[in-house]
Structure 1
């Protein structure tokens, strides 16, 4: 039993193989290029170098018990694997390439011997064993390089995500700095962010569950998931994804307001507690506002009055005065007209306009209460 498969190779293989190496390098590198047509010129150069180094080394190994790849040669293939990872190509294409190279190497070595003398079946078997074992060593080196690069990229990715989390949670970041940092973690835009408070033991699962859409920050007492706006941040999706996880979902606010959104989630947790179903801060703004939480009142005002935001200031103020009076007088147009010193038909016109803008909110008890609250605390017109 010999120590290496290539120790059993015939001594005359190297002499027979070397004249054919330039053509073999060209053919194998060309076949690899055809398998990866979009890889670019640098990949082609790297592959050509790697194939030349690999074939030279295989010829040197014939009849020896040396290890397949000394450090300087192994590093060529470690670097090739790392380059594949940097180009976001996984190991599948790399291993397929090596399998193709192994078949072509076996054919080249067999034909080289056959040109100088007859080749026995045992020699073909030994050649097959040696080429397979040798290419396994090449694959191990490439995979090692790919894994190293992925670990390095993961570490860099974690650092960038921590940077984005710090910018958002601290607040006050210049817009260009925040957006560039967000782009660095794969967020093409930085708009609304939804904070979710979670128990610490849910942090790891949240990282896996939300992937690139969220950033998880562990704070000692709990964890905060910062989720970018999108389908996965919609209420229905969150209600399903966070079921049974004792989560509190803060409001979706613009990225500069993330500290306020997190604080409102914390106040909601203090007010409503947690349970198996996620608690949404949106459901508790009125209660928070009545407890003196100005941030909750500001968000509630912005949302309830958003349909009127596009009106001219004078028209908007007229409608809001009318709406406040109408809510206070339980829908009595006569009382509203008397209070505002306008004709009842004017009240009817304004209410029709309000119904066009606010829709079913005028008939929803909760919405009417929140509108009353918003208007009661609204600065005087």
Structure 2
């Protein structure tokens, strides 16, 4: 038995001899590998132009065969492999397609080596069999380098894509998008410039599962952005309406959310964002509550003009607010419940677990303290708005 070093040298010499011959048939090997790759993979055909595929394959096979003639420290084929993998990631070729190509390359090269030895040096076939491990090890090295480089480049591309999407969303939501940005957002976000949208804002921690940001709700698409203290989503409604959106949100929102009115274009999202935030501000408790601005306009008006809200609060409820805290809170709760029950003393009494006459007496006392009659429409409006102010401006409740 010959020493291992003699066997290894015999194998290497056999491979070198065959590699020199195969280098003379590069175009034929390239044709075969390109044809086999493209015949079984429509995605490869769509992502990589034929001329580019052929040229890169020619160079890859050349460097792969040349590597057999070089010391292991001079694997220039690996540099080429990394560059090509980076290019394929940029072209959007799936990694599976890229790795399949390397498996086919191993088959094509190995078959060519075997064919050559059968024709020219059949007595050396046994040596070539021992060389199989060297050939497939070289292919494996290329595949590993390709896989690692592809994954790193894909992450870079995805990161930049997410950054671009986030920047475009921010521009739309913050009102800094000009016509050019709107057109760019239409393409990058795959959203029609003129479509039906709403903006949703959710206080941080206001979801059933803090890891869940649904990207769709019953056919409505949602694009989310994180903000300080809250999350915001652009909801592409399609054929749905606010009722549909709020119903689906109720399944995932456990805290407080604000919903804007419907707008009809990307350029209107900044205004919708402001209105969604305003709707969310009308909620003073921890929820669950989904506030639609179209149902909170009076409260929203109080928030937009706090100076007038304070004035109304003092003029309409001033004497009531001057009571001790327990008495004041009882009357405010009674008024709020009475209004929520459409002026029904019986329904208000049921909600507050007291007798109907108790509600009637408290309502009379509220009218006496405020000098307003709940039977008079204008006075009723004043008291309802003042009550919103009292709820939304807690610093004046003390």
TM-score, structure 1 normalization: 0.62
Q: Give the CA deviation at 1:97.
A: 1.8
Instruction: Note the alpha carbon deviations across 1:316-347, whole angstroms, 9 max, x for none.
Output: xxxxxxxxxxxxxxxxxxxxxxxxxxxxxxxx
Which 10-residue stretch deviates more, 232-241 or 136-145?
A: 232-241
Aligned residues of 1:61 and 1:68 also touching (Cα < 8 A): yes
Choose which of 135, 139, 147 in structure 1 pairs with 2:143: 139
Q: Does structure 1 residue 24 correspond to structure 2 residue 29?
A: yes
Aligned residues of 1:13 and 1:59 also touching (Cα < 8 A): no
Which 10-residue stretch deviates more, 173-182 or 86-95?
A: 173-182
Choose which of 226, 229, 240 in structure 1 pairs with 2:234: 226
2:10 & 2:234 partners in 1: Cα distance? 61
Which structure 2 residues correspond to residues 39-188 of structure 1 after superposition, within 5 A?
39=45, 43-62=49-68, 66-67=72-73, 69-70=75-76, 73-118=77-122, 123-171=127-175, 173-188=177-192
Instruction: Note the alpha carbon deviations across 1:81-138, whole angstroms, 9 max, x for none.
Output: 2333333221111122221221111111122222222356754543332232222222
2:148 & 2:240 partners in 1: Cα distance? 35
Q: Give the CA deviation at 1:172.
A: 6.0
Gaps of 5+ in 1: 295-372, 374-381
Gaps of 5+ in 2: 306-380, 382-398
Q: Give the CA deviation at 1:31.
A: 1.9
Q: Give the CA deviation at 1:237.
A: 7.0
Aligned residues of 2:114 and 2:125 also touching (Cα < 8 A): no
Aligned residues of 2:86 and 2:149 also touching (Cα < 8 A): yes
Q: Give the CA deviation at 1:250.
A: 3.1
1:126 & 1:237 partners in 2: Cα distance? 68
Q: Secondary structure at the match of 1:242?
A: coil
2:93 & 2:195 partners in 1: Cα distance? 30
Q: Does structure 1 residue 251 correspond to structure 2 residue 264?
A: no
Partner in structure 1 of residue 13 of structure 2? 11
2:186 & 2:124 partners in 1: Cα distance? 63
Q: Does structure 1 residue 261 correspond to structure 2 residue 272?
A: yes
Aligned residues of 2:199 and 2:276 also touching (Cα < 8 A): yes
1:224 & 1:236 partners in 2: Cα distance? 15
Q: Secondary structure at the match of 1:77?
A: helix
Q: Give the CA deviation at 1:174.
A: 3.3
Q: Secondary structure at the match of 1:161?
A: helix
**What's the C-alpha RMSD, in Å, of the aligned pairs?**
4.1
Q: Does structure 1 residue 279 correspond to structure 2 residue 290?
A: yes
2:35 & 2:282 partners in 1: Cα distance? 68
Aligned residues of 1:172 and 1:256 also touching (Cα < 8 A): no
Number of aligned positions between the proteins: 292
Structure 1 residues 235 and 215: alpha-carbon distance in aligned structure 2, compared to 1, 3 A threshold: closer
2:73 & 2:295 partners in 1: Cα distance? 69
2:303 & 2:286 partners in 1: Cα distance? 25
Instruction: Note the alpha carbon deviations across 1:243-262, whole angstroms, 9 max, x for none.
Output: 44654433332333333322
Aligned residues of 2:117 and 2:125 also touching (Cα < 8 A): no
1:151 & 1:220 partners in 2: Cα distance? 26
Q: Give the CA deviation at 1:200.
A: 4.2
2:140 & 2:151 partners in 1: Cα distance? 16
1:138 & 1:124 partners in 2: Cα distance? 21
Aligned residues of 2:196 and 2:237 also touching (Cα < 8 A): yes
Q: Secondary structure at the match of 1:253?
A: coil
TM-score, structure 2 normalization: 0.59
Q: Give the CA deviation at 1:14.
A: 2.3
Q: Give the CA deviation at 1:210.
A: 5.3
Aligned residues of 1:198 and 1:223 also touching (Cα < 8 A): yes
Partner in structure 2 of residue 33 of structure 1? 38
2:274 & 2:78 partners in 1: Cα distance? 54
